[in-house]
Structure 1
Amino acid sequence: MNRWTCGIAGCGREFDGPEEVIVHQTTEHQRHECAVCGTIVPEGYFAIRHAFDEHTRSEYVRAYDADSSDVRAREAVKEEIEENADLQRVVKRLNARSE
């Protein structure tokens, strides 16, 4: 089984599945403030998803001083997570932690 690694700078912890990585990023890392709109979101997958679902690619490039390779890398992460993770399971786990 392939391990999933937290891609947040300085972390590198490994997990058995993508759901565990997302829960880890949401609960163990500081929140991220979107440079486009100022919304506070969990770091990692949820920050990437917010950026690309809520804003245009050009807004992302300008706000984060990014280039096309940065966009492609983050889109690849988003796609890989969405193809492999049970996001409903993630939501249930996060909700259970907050009760």
Structure 2
Amino acid sequence: MSGWRCGIGDCEQGFEDVESLIIHQTTEHDKHECQVCGTLIPDGYFAIRHVFDEHTRAQYVRAYDADSAAVRRREEIQAEVEATADLNAVVDQLDTPSKQIE
């Protein structure tokens, strides 16, 4: 049984570990354009991290027409990923030539 599901669009691919999920989101899905600042970033975890680390919650709510439940859900995802993932290993793997981000 997979512990992590992608959830981008209709992708529901499952992964045993969060690191594999993040690599999948980064390499297999189109980049996301931040609706606050226009930056192109990998979709999924990195997009959530970008919007909450770089912008205020109010900016997110306005730009994405979101409500407080959407903010809380994304904050929960970010916290769960960051409590579980070895992000250094993710970055190291993404930096290898076979997995490099375009």
**TM-score over 0.5 for the pair:** yes
User: Which letter does structure 2 place at the counterpart of 1:14?
Assistant: G
**Aligned position for 1:78:** 78
**Aligned position for 1:33:** 33
User: Which letter does structure 2 place at the counterpart of 1:72?
Assistant: R
Q: Are the aligned partners of 2:48 and 2:74 in contact in 1 as well (CA < 8 Å)?
A: yes
Deviation at 1:2, TM superposition (A): 5.5
Residues matched between the structures, number: 98
TM-score, with structure 1 as normaliser:
0.96
% identical equivalent positions? 58
Question: Which runs of at least 4 in structure 1 moved beyond 6 Å after TM superposition?
Answer: none
CA distance in 2, matches of 1:62, 1:91: 31
TM-score, with structure 2 as normaliser:
0.93
Deviation at 1:9, TM superposition (A): 1.9
Unaligned ranges ≥5, structure 1: none
User: Which letter does structure 2 place at the counterpart of 1:67?
Assistant: D
Alignment RMSD, CA only? Answer: 1.0
Deviation at 1:29, TM superposition (A): 0.3
User: Which letter does structure 1 place at the counterpart of 2:51?
Assistant: A
Deviation at 1:7, TM superposition (A): 1.7
